[in-house]
Amino acid sequence: MTKTSIFTSNELSRLKEVQAAKSGSAEDQFIQECIGLVREWLSTRQLRKDPPPPDNQAILFIFAEAPLIDFGFDKDIVSEPRRIRRKQGTLGEGIVVCNQNFKVMLKVRESLTIEAAYSFAENQLSTLSSFTIAKVGQHKLQIHRTGQNLEDWLDDPEEIPININEILLTPDVIADDLKRFHHSYLSTPLARAARHMWTLPEEETQSRLGGLPEQHIQSFLLSHLDGLYGRASVFVHEEIRNQGGRVDIWIERPSLGSSGKVNTVLELKVLAPTKSHNENYKWARKGVEQADSYRNHDTDTAFACLFDARRKKQDMPELAPYALEKNVRLEQYLMDVPADSKKKPAVISKES
């Protein structure tokens, strides 16, 4: 019996070209838009065989939920805001204030060097600002997330490459990139992402993880992979994210298969120092189950990524066989815990 398709061949072709919408928090979406715009601009220049832009050419993207209001910038260093649109494809330098999906983009300065971008950030922005500096001639993007100490960031900014070349992505390549991400961002308490995850409650001597550690890692990993993978679409599958701890990243790219695409799924779980061994084991096992549940007919591999922030890294011998049974690739990344703080000496009252 012949099955009739509900789509014409032309409609199916158009569906294959649809890209996933930007996802994650509003700040995550803003960062992804910055990566996408810079990549498109660089790719267009490469296709036209234009000369590379100067190493010191820059774009400063400033995130604002309502870009149309006055931000109090020094009038001597900005011009009258001018509305631009992403698809004009002409934004190669300057300062632009944008909302999370770039529907509103106001250009407030035409030309910009990297040094001038740093000066503007230092004098006009703050720790609460979300912004990126695109070093377009160097194919790099520096990311300042809200809440990061601005002075510290200016000395040591988070920087990701903007790759415009096609990469042959396999699960092994992705696994290697995850290891490199862990080493740079999470392996020690002072690593780029980990330094913002640990808190030391008042009057306590042991640090603990702040709230929503999986979402914290997801934000950093999302931009890291998005910058690395040129033609791949890296996104959070919003439809299956809920309050039950499902934190995932999908990596989708073209394929020669019948659907024209293939995806790899990453489920992220953090093993916490404040939980018991049994609680952490159940959490890790849940990660394996969720990774398995995400897969569809286009999935090549489902990863369960365990970021182990326990003080005692006890073995979980039952976990690997369970992951194998579920056909889930289990990867574990050790996170060093901050050293215990010295107790404050007790105050001894003086007898009168």
CATH number of the domain that residue 250 is part of: 3.40.91
- Give me the domain span that covers residue 118: 13-161
**49 shares its domain with 193:** no
The two tokens of residue 202 are 């008042």
Question: For every residue of 216-263, which 3-state class applies, written as one string?
Answer: HHHHHHHHHHHHHCCCCEEECCHHHCCCCCCCEEEEEEECCCCCCEEE
Query: According to DSSP H, which parts of the chain are helical?
Result: 9-16, 26-47, 114-124, 150-155, 171-185, 213-228, 277-294, 319-325
In a domain, 3, yes or no: no
Is residue 183 a part of any domain in this protein? yes
Residues 157 and 177 in one domain: no
**Is 166 domain-assigned?**
no
Q: Do 230 and 324 sit in the same domain of this protein?
A: yes
In a shared domain, residues 143 and 249: no
Residues 79 and 122 in one domain: yes
Q: Let me know whether 44 and 107 are in one domain.
A: yes
From 111, 140, 161, give the residue that closes a domain.
Answer: 161
CATH classification at residue 109: 3.40.1700
In a domain, 37, yes or no: yes
Res. 11 pLDDT band, cuts 50 70 90: very low
Are 123 and 228 members of one domain? no
Residues 78, 122: one domain? Answer: yes
131-146 burial code (b ≥16 CB/10 A, e <16): bbbbbbbbbbbbbbbe
| pLDDT above 90 (res 240) | no
Report pLDDT for 203: 86
Check if the beta carbon of residue 120 is closer than 8 Å to that of residue 127. Answer: no
Amino acid at 288: V
Residue 344 has a pLDDT of 55
Asked whether residue 45 is domain-assigned, the answer is yes
122 and 19 in contact (C-beta within 8 Å)? Answer: no
Q: What is the pLDDT of residues 121-170, one digit of tens each?
A: 999 999 999 999 999 999 999 999 999 999 999 999 999 999 998 888 99
Asked, for residue 196, whether it belongs to a domain, the answer is yes
One domain for residues 252 and 149: no
Q: Total structural domains in the chain?
A: 2
Q: Which two tokens stand for residue 255?
A: 């394929």
233-235 and 248-254 strand pairing: antiparallel
Residues 208 and 315 occupy one common structural domain: yes
For the chain, give the mean pLDDT. 88
Q: Judge if 232 and 152 occupy the same domain.
A: no
Same-domain status, 296 and 180 = yes
